[in-house]
Amino acid sequence: MAVAPVLASGSIPAAVVAAGGLVGGYGVARWTKKRPLGGVVLAAAGAVAVREWQRAGGTEAAVGLGVAYVAAFAGSHPLAKKIGAWPAVFTVAGGVAAASWAVTRRAGR
């Protein structure tokens, strides 16, 4: 119960939530061997991040970063064939976190 107020208050940056969703979703899917469960983690973190992106940067920022989040998830799969699964997940998570930080920082000015 204590997690929802923390996320709703915006004390955890959306960049961290989004990157955590990508890494956590993959981790849960891999360790439980239940891909749908990893998808739940990915979707829940994405929903929280989109809400925060909307609050911080407006609809345009939320849509753009939401698309980037989904594209990062999809792009991690072919990237994993080239560099390995965990390096691919960390790479796309870092990219989404950087984009989130840049967009929301600019919107806050």
Side-chain half-sphere CA neighbours of 105 within 13 A: 7
For residue 68, is pLDDT > 80? yes
Q: Which pLDDT tens digit goes with each residue over 74-102?
A: 999 999 999 999 999 999 999 999 999 99
Q: Which pLDDT tens digit goes with each residue over 17-56?
A: 999 999 999 999 999 999 999 999 999 999 999 999 999 9
Please report, as a single letter, which amino acid is at residue 60.
Answer: E
pLDDT on residue 10: 52
Long-range CB contact pairs, 42-51, < 8 A, 24+ = 42/73, 45/17, 45/18, 45/20, 45/21, 46/18, 46/21, 46/70, 48/7, 48/14, 48/17, 48/21, 49/14, 49/17, 49/18, 49/21, 49/100
CB contact at 8 A, 96 and 72: yes
Phi, psi of 2 (to 5 degrees): -70, -20
Q: How far is Cα 21 from Cα 49, in angstroms, rounded to an integer?
A: 9
pLDDT on residue 107: 63
